[in-house]
Amino acid sequence: MAGMTIEVVPIATKYLDLDGDGVPDAVQTTEGIGYDVTGDGAPDVVEIVEETAAGIGIDGVPEHVEVTEPVAVQVEHEHAA
């Protein structure tokens, strides 16, 4: 993505019980990354990325991590006079 990165913002964290034993064994995080494409200091594009870490052992290390393709959202904002 061209442009300066403004900020990375965590949007959501979900703890998932994939095997139904009542103990979370996966974590899904969603974050937004803002980019200033026009150079005006405000984000013009926000990328949304989800990551799922599964098979987390007692050491906290996941066996498998899956990252989705980023989804870019154009942000419309009015410029101050």
What is the rounded average pLDDT for all residues in the chain? 83
Residue 61 has pLDDT above 90, yes or no: no
Position 78 confidence tier, pLDDT thresholds 50, 70, 90: low
pLDDT value for 14: 93
pTM of this structure? 0.66
- Residue 23 inside a domain? The answer is yes
Q: Would you say residue 79 lies in a domain?
A: no
In a domain, 45, yes or no: yes
Domain with 11, as residue range(s), is: 4-74
The pLDDT assigned to 77 comes to 64
- Concatenated DSSP letters for the chain? --SEEEEEEEEEEEEE-SSSSSS--EEEEEEEEEEESSSSSS-SEEEEEEEEEES--TTS--SEEEEPPPEEEE---PPP-
What pLDDT shows up at residue 10?
79
As given in the structure block, the two tokens for residue 2 are 């061209």
The residue-averaged pLDDT of 1-9 equals 69
